[in-house]
Amino acid sequence: MSLKTLGLSDELHNYVVAHSAPISDLMRELAEETRRLLPADADMQVAPEQATFLTFLTRMLGARNAVEIGTFTGLSSLAIATALPDDGKLTCFDVSTEYTDVARRYWTRAGLDNRIELRIGPARETLPGLPDEPYLDLAFIDADKVGYPAYWAELVPRMRPGGVIAVDNVLRNGAVLDPRSDADRAIAAFNTQVLADDRVDVVMLPLADGVTLARRR
C-alpha cells in the first residue's frame, strides 16, 4: 500500500492505458494525424487516458449539455460527444480555424457533427452568449491558462447542481510548486481560487498534467 499517488514510469503508464477502455480507432487516427501535421503543438492534445476518462465522466453524469473551452484538433470533443445522447449538445469554444478544421473533419467522420456546435472567437467574449440559467452538466477547460479565472467565472453559475467542471493542466508539469512563467503563476493562483470557492466540491487528480474536478453544489 502507498500513502501517496505513485509516480508512473513509462512501463507503468503503458500498463494503466492498457487496462483502461481503449480510445476508438478514429480517435487514435486523429491523435496520430495531429502529431504528424502539428508536431510542435501536438502536446496540446489530451492524453489517450484523458480521452477515455472524459468519455467515462460524460456517461457517468448522464450529461446532455456540455461545453468545451479549447478544442484544438478535436480529441477531447470527440471523447465527450461520443458519450452524449442523440439529442445531447456539446458547445466548443476555440480561436483557431486551422486546428478546428481538423476537428470538424473527424466530427463528421464520427457522425457526431450534429451534436457539436463550434464557436470561433475569444471565449471571454463568446461564453456570455450561453444561456444564463444553470443548465450545464459538464464543462471541460483546456485553453490559455491565463484565461482560466475568466472561464471559471462564466461557467460556475451555468452548471446545474451536481454538474461537473473538469480543468486540465492544473499541475503544469510540476511548475505550480515553483511558478516562473505567467501561465504557471496563473494556474497556481487559479488552483487556490478554486479550492476556496464554496459553490463547488473539488478534487485534483494526478491524471496526465493534472485534472481538477469541481462539482457544483
pLDDT tens column, 170-198: 999 999 999 999 999 999 999 999 999 99
Q: Which pLDDT belongs to residue 197?
A: 98
Q: Provide φ and ψ at 191, rounded to 5°.
A: -60, -40
Burial 74-101 (b: 16+ CB within 10 A, else e): bbbbbbbbbbbeeebbbbbbbbeeebbe
Is residue 1's pLDDT more than 70? no
| Per-residue model confidence as pLDDT tens digits over 7-52 | 889 999 899 989 999 999 999 999 999 999 999 999 999 999 999 9
Q: Please list the residues that pair with 46 across neighbouring strands.
A: none
Query: pTM to 2 decimals?
Result: 0.96
Mean pLDDT of the chain: 96
Domains and CATH numbers, the chain: 10-216 (3.40.50.150)
Residues 155 and 26: their CA atoms lie apart, in Å, by: 30
| Per-residue model confidence as pLDDT tens digits over 67-112 | 999 999 999 999 999 999 999 999 999 999 999 999 999 999 999 9
Q: Which pLDDT belongs to residue 206?
A: 93
